Structure 1
Amino acid sequence: MAKKLDVDIDPGKFLDSFRPEMPAPAAHENAGTDGDAPGGATGETEKVPAKAKKEVEYLKRFLHAPKIPVCSGKTAYIRKGYHERIQRIVQVIGKNGLTLSVYVDRVLEQHFREYEEVIRRLYKKNYEDIY
């Protein structure tokens, strides 16, 4: 006979975990950051130690609700170890508030923003026109 577990499950969150990502309602877009994200500009961050500032920046940049759906993308394979690590980050730090795909999308968005000039230069350097 199966063992009965006493687990408190929120049915709304459970059903939402199967629904596609939807954009946040009427959020003001500001260069990839969300004004409603944790650690907004309230002036309090100047009094916070550097480690705490980094934590707030990380949460704000990578672990907030998505503005645009990510589910319409393509499949990409990643290492098993990275998948497990990202899944734990999303579940524990993100409190299951977003999907692994949203997190990976945010990391890539930051990478492309940070290295855009380098990528453009390297692309132009290596690109050969067919005509």
Structure 2
Amino acid sequence: DGIKKEGLQLPPELTEGSQKEVPNPKELPSAKLEIKEKTRVKKTSEPDYESIFFKRPDTNARDGKTVYIRPDFHEKLSRIVQVIGEDKITIYAYLDNLLNYHFQEFGEQITKSFNDKYKPIL
């Protein structure tokens, strides 16, 4: 499918929660503390990583396309899947989960950047 004149559109669930408040400069120290707390929580919540990235996808590798990656990345991915995934998940499934997370996390920024650079012919 081609790209519409209007560019990419965000799914409704991403656009509704995308309104961010700019904190008052007086509130910045408490905001920094909240960020530190969130960062600390993320580092200690290792089971979250496994539950996000080591789940089976709805599709099979044969339904996708061939993509080439660097040999050193392939080796790292193989080891991650073998050790953390306990050989219960494929590299395809792990990469599918990584890309899904990436597009959810950065979808709004990707869409904005794309639309800024995309100039329709007509």
* More helix as a share of residues: 2
TM-score (norm 2): 0.61
Q: Percent identity?
A: 38
Residue of structure 1 in register with 2:12 after alignment: none
Q: Which runs of 5+ in 2 are unaligned?
A: 1-39
Q: Is residue 81 of structure 2 the alignment partner of residue 112 of structure 1?
A: no
SS at match of 1:71: helix
Ranked by relative contact order (alpha carbons within 8 Å, sequence separation 6 or more), the top structure is: 2
Query: In structure 1, how many angstroms separate the alpha carbons of the residues matched to 2:89 and 2:119?
Result: 40
User: How far off is 1:73 after superposition?
Assistant: 0.6
Residue of structure 1 in register with 2:33 after alignment: none
Query: In structure 2, how many angstroms separate the alpha carbons of the residues matched to 1:90 and 1:97?
Result: 8
SS at match of 2:89: coil
Q: What is the alpha-carbon root mean square deviation over aligned residues?
A: 2.0
| Aligned 1:25-36 pairs, distance under 5 A | none
Contact 1:62–1:107 (8 Å) recurs in 2: yes
Among 111, 115, 120, the residue aligned to 1:124: 115
Residue of structure 2 in register with 1:68 after alignment: 59
Amino acid at match of 1:75: T
TM-score (norm 1): 0.57
Contact 1:66–1:98 (8 Å) recurs in 2: no
Query: In structure 1, how many angstroms separate the alpha carbons of the residues matched to 2:68 and 2:87?
Result: 21
Amino acid at match of 2:50: L
Query: In structure 1, how many angstroms separate the alpha carbons of the residues matched to 2:44 and 2:62?
Result: 32
Q: Which runs of 5+ in 1 are unaligned?
A: 1-48
Query: In structure 1, how many angstroms separate the alpha carbons of the residues matched to 2:89 and 2:44?
Result: 22
SS at match of 1:115: helix
Contact 2:55–2:93 (8 Å) recurs in 1: no
Contact 1:90–1:100 (8 Å) recurs in 2: yes
